[in-house]
Structure 1
Amino acid sequence: MFSLHLTFSSFPLPNAGLIDGDLHFYHYSTDNANSDPVRVLEVHARTKYCRVAQFIKGGRALLTGSSDFSILATNVKTKSTIARLDNTHEAATNRRISLTESTIASGDDDGFTKVWDTKEYSCCNSFEAHEDYISDITFASDVMKLLATSADGTLSVCNL
């Protein structure tokens, strides 16, 4: 099980991804510190361990990455599949970051970083800069560079 901290409609939504692929999103009351969390969204979109999740399209869609090497886009309101890309990486995806309104980057356990067009749900860049898993990704928008760190102890700077 993992947990992330995502933002949806300007409210933080802590969540838990379960080993069966389900995602549960919760809202905590800021008025009463002793109140129990309320589950606001539950997505049953995966059959394998969900490793990373990110809202796109202004919070209307949720992208998830799994140990089955796929990326899945789910409509948050209807919980229906918008798009599913299989074999997006040759290893499990473990990091994802928004670059622009229509692009994201993902990193995998083999050290590959890929850039995705969320309008077309297609890969538009791929970088093989590391020998071990991607531990973090950030984006320098002023110079259009994607920076990634890896468990191999290196930092890559990729020109988009």
Structure 2
Amino acid sequence: MEIDLKKIAFDLDFHPSSPIVATGLITGYVRLYHYDPESQSQPKKLIRVKAHRKSCRAARFIDDGRVILTASTDRSILATDVETGKAITRVDDAHESAVNRLINLTETTVSSGDDEGVIKVWDTRSRTCCNSFDAHEEFISDMEFISDSKQLLGTRYNFNLFLLVL
């Protein structure tokens, strides 16, 4: 099975309980596709949303897959309803520079990382930043959360790792 996006995809995420994949594209669009894991049939496009003015670098399902959260070089973070494709909330200027990564931490918190090495923790209920770390001087290339110990592991472009205890 193959999906021809016709544009560069910066990120993707699989829905936690349905055969749906979300892609964040260089054009700022987010596309969701339904696929049949048992067949070779072509995936069906469910949603196509112009989520950001600039490239969409990160995409993550939250709220048990009811919402797709995306982040962009335009420094915004957008929450979109998966069923309707309608915007739920947008945080413009979520960071001072381009947002590269998003990761789920708990049922009510997510983390974002940007081009200047800043990591923020967001409360999805209040839609506010509840913590910020100036972790590096360069962009955050990836993050992983270890829930048992409340540790957030991050990487930057030069392969350095850092560990934050939340």
TM-score, normalised relative to structure 2: 0.86
In structure 2, the residue matched to 1:91 is: 97
1:2-151 paired onto structure 2 within 5 Å: 2-33=9-40, 35-151=41-157
Identity %: 47
The secondary structure found in structure 1 opposite 2:27 is: coil
Aligned 8 A contact 1:95 1:107 in 2: yes
Going from structure 1 to structure 2, the CA distance change for 1:91 and 1:28 (only over 3 Å counts) comes to same
**Residues 132-159 of structure 1: CA deviation (Å, up to 9, x unaligned):** 1111111121221111111244222112
When residues 10 and 3 of structure 1 are mapped into structure 2, their CA distance, relative to the original with a 3 A threshold, is farther
Considering fraction of residues, name the structure with more strand: 1
Return the alpha-carbon distance in structure 1 between the equivalents of residues 142 and 25 of structure 2. 22
Equivalences, count: 159
Please tell me the residue identity of whatever aligns with 2:157. Answer: A
Secondary structure of the residue aligned to 1:11 is: coil
Alignment-mate amino acid for residue 45 of structure 1: A
Q: CA offset at residue 58 of structure 1?
A: 1.3
2:64 partner SS: helix
C-alpha distance after superposition, 1:41-91 (max 9, x if no partner) = 222332221111111111111111011101111122222221111111111
Amino acid at match of 2:83: K
Deviation digits for residues 5-54 of structure 1 (CA, Å, limit 9, x no counterpart): 42225234334333332211222222322x22211222233222111111
Quote the RMSD (CA, aligned, Å). 1.7
Distance 1:158 1:61, change over 3 A: same
Which 5+ residue runs of structure 1 have no aligned equivalent? none
Does the C-alpha gap of structure 1 residues 137 and 122 become closer, same or farther in structure 2, counting only changes over 3 Å?
A: same
Distance (Å, rounded) in 2 between the aligned partners of 1:58 and 1:16: 17
2:10 touches 2:25 (CA, 8 Å); kept in 1?
no
Contact 2:118–2:135 (CA<8 Å) still a contact in 1? yes
Question: Counterpart of 1:110 in structure 2: which amino acid?
Answer: E
